[in-house]
C-alpha cells in the first residue's frame, strides 16, 4: 500500500527527485505543516500566555508519545525532557555525571558513535577534560560482548553506546547487560537511540528506563523535523545538573531570589527558552499515524519488504561488488542499507547529479527507506544505479 499521499507537499515540491535518504533527512509529511501552523496560530492568539498551553498541553502530549513509542508506557512521560538537539544533552550529561576518581570524566564509547558525540569527545580529550576509552565496532560479531566487558571493568563514569550504529546500521544487542551496570553514583549509561527510535518497535521497554538514559530525536524516522531532541532520564540520576536553565524550575517560579530549584522529574535537565514548534509537528504526526492505523511495527514491515526488493535488484548493479554491512535477517533492522565500497562517494555524487538523493559516510553509501517509498521507487533507484 502506498502512503505517498501523506507526503504530497514534499513530493510535489520536487517531483523529479528520488529521495532515498529517509535515515538522514526524512521528508516531512503534510501533517507536520499543520502542526507548524498550529504553533504559529497559538503564538498569535495567546502571545505571552502561549507557554501555559505549551507546557500544560503540548509538552505533556509530546512526552507521552515518546514514552509510549519507547515502550516505557505513557505513565512514565515525566521521564522525558526535550531540547533543540541531542548534543545539548551530551553537554548536560557530561557536566552532571559523577567523577568518582575526582579527576577528568572517564568515558567509554564505541568508535561508531554519531558525529556530534565523536567530535565532542575528541575535543574534550584534546583539552584534557575527559579520559576516553573506545571499543572498536569491528569485528561486529562480538562487539556487544566486548563493549559489555569493557563497561564491567568499573573504570568509567559515563558509558555511551548506540543501539543502532549510524554508519553501518548494525544493531547493538543485547543492551540489557550494559544497562544493568548503571548506578546513580556511577557509571551512568547512555543509549543513543537516534536510529532506533521509530525504526525499532519499543526499543527501550522492559524497565530499561529505570536505570539508563536514552537519546533520540524527531529529525529522522519520527518525521517531525529538526528541533526535537529528547532524553529519557532515569529517576535518581543527577538531581541537580550543573548546566541548567530557568525551565528546570518552571513549575515553581515563586522560589526566593537566588535559590536554584530543580524539578523532581526529567525537567531537572531542562535548559532555557526554546522553540516549541517541533513538539507541535511531532504531535500532529502522531495524530496522522493514529488516524491511518500506522505504527512502528507496521511501518517497519513495509520498509523491510522494500529493503528486500532493493537487495535483490541491486545484485544487477555496481553495488553487487560492494559489501552490505547490515544484511537483512529475522531480527530488528535499521531503516537503511549500508554498502561499503571504495567508489561510495563517487556513486553518491553521480546519483545526486541525476536527482537521486542518498548519502555517504567515508566509504559507505547509505540508502534509507520510509513511508513515502513504494516498489516503483526501488525499481527507479535500481535503474539509476545501473547507469553508474
Which SS3 state, helix, strand or coil, does residue 212 take? Answer: coil
Tens digits of residue pLDDT in 222-232 = 999 999 999 99
Of the listed ranges 239-243, 255-259, 345-349, the one predicted with least confidence: 255-259
Long-range contact set of residues 249-258: C-beta below 8 Å, sequence gap at least 24: 250/55
pLDDT of res. 2: 83
Share the mean pLDDT of the chain.
96
pLDDT over threshold 70, residue 251: no
pLDDT of res. 255: 58
pLDDT over threshold 80, residue 288: yes
Domains of the chain, start order: 4-30+294-386 (3.90.1150.10), 33-288 (3.40.640.10)
258 pLDDT band (50/70/90 cuts)?
Answer: low
- Would you say 366 and 358 are in contact if contact means Cβ atoms under 8 Å apart? yes
pLDDT of res. 257: 64
pLDDT of res. 15: 97
pLDDT of res. 250: 65
Tens digits of residue pLDDT in 77-90 = 999 999 999 999 99
Report the alpha-carbon distance of residue 289 to residue 257 in Å, rounded. 45
As given in the structure block, the three cell numbers for residue 222 are 519520527
Query: To the nearest whole percent, how much of the chain has pLDDT over 70?
Result: 98
pLDDT over threshold 90, residue 253: no
pLDDT of res. 246: 83
pLDDT top residue among 331 and 283 = 283
Report the alpha-carbon distance of residue 46 to residue 38 in Å, rounded. 12
Report the alpha-carbon distance of residue 187 to residue 258 in Å, rounded. 31
As given in the structure block, the three cell numbers for residue 217 are 530525536
Report the alpha-carbon distance of residue 113 to residue 159 in Å, rounded. 12
Burial 170-196 (b: 16+ CB within 10 A, else e): bbbeebeebbebbeeebbbbbbbbbbb
Tens digits of residue pLDDT in 236-250 = 999 999 999 988 876
Tens digits of residue pLDDT in 141-175 = 999 999 999 999 999 999 999 999 999 999 999 99
Mean pLDDT for the stretch of residues 32-39: 98
Predicted structure pTM score: 0.96
Amino acid at each position: 500500500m502506498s502512503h505517498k499521499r501523506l507526503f504530497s507537499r514534499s513530493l510535489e515540491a520536487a517531483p523529479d527527485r528520488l529521495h532515498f535518504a529517509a535515515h538522514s533527512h526524512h521528508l516531512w509529511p503534510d501533517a507536520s505543516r499543520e502542526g507548524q501552523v498550529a504553533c504559529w496560530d497559538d503564538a498569535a492568539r495567546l502571545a505571552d500566555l502561549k507557554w501555559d498551553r505549551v507546557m500544560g498541553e503540548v509538552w505533556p502530549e509530546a512526552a507521552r508519545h515518546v514514552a509510549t513509542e519507547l515502550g516505557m508506557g505513557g505513565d512514565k512521560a515525566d521521564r522525558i525532557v526535550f531540547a533543540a538537539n541531542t548534543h545539548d544533552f551530551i553537554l548536560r550529561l557530561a557536566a552532571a555525571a559523577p567523577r568518582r576518581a575526582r579527576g577528568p570524566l572517564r568515558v567509554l564509547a564505541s568508535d561508531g558513535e554519531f558525529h556530534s558525540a565523536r567530535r565532542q569527545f575528541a575535543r574534550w580529550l584534546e583539552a584534557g577534560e575527559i579520559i576516553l576509552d573506545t571499543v572498536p565496532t569491528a569485528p561486529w560479531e562480538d562487539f556487544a560482548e566486548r563493549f559489555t566487558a569493557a563497561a564491567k571493568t568499573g573504570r568509567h563514569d559515563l558509558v555511551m553506546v548506540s543501539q543502532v550504529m549510524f554508519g553501518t546500521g548494525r544493531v547493538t544487542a543485547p543492551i540489557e547487560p550494559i544497562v544493568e551496570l548503571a548506578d546513580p553514583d556511577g557509571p551512568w549509561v547512555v543509549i543513543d537511540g537516534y536510529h532506533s527510535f521509530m525504526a525499532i518497535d519499543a526499543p527501550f521497554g522492559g524497565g530499561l528506563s529505570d536505570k539508563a538514559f536514552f537519546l533520540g530525536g524527531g529529525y529522522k524516522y519520527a518525521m517531525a523535523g529538526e528541533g526535537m531532541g529528547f532524553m529519557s532520564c532515569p529517576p535518581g540520576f543527577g538531581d541537580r545538573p550543573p548546566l541548567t536553565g530557568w525551565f528546570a524550575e518552571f513549575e515553581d517560579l515563586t522560589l526566593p531570589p537566588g535559590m536554584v530549584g530543580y524539578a523532581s522529574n526529567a525537567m531537572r535537565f531542562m535548559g532555557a527558552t526554546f522553540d516549541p514548534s517541533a513538539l507541535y509537528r511531532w504531535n500532529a504526526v502522531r495524530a496522522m499515524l493514529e488516524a491511518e492505523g500506522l505504527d512502528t511495527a507496521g511501518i517497519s514491515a513495509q520498509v523491510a519488504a522494500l529493503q528486500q526488493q532493493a537487495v535483490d535488484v541491486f545484485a544487477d548493479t555496481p553495488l553487487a561488488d560492494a559489501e552490505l554491512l547490515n544484511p537483512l535477517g529475522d531480527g530488528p533492522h535499521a531503516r537503511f542499507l549500508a554498502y561499503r565500497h571504495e567508489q561510495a562517494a563517487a556513486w553518491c555524487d553521480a546519483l545526486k547529479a541525476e536527482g537521486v538523493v542518498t548519502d555517504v559516510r567515508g566509504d559507505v553509501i547509505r540508502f534509507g527507506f520510509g513511508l513515502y517509498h513504494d516498489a516503483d521507487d526501488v525499481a527507479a533507484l535500481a535503474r539509476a544505479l545501473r547507469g553508474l
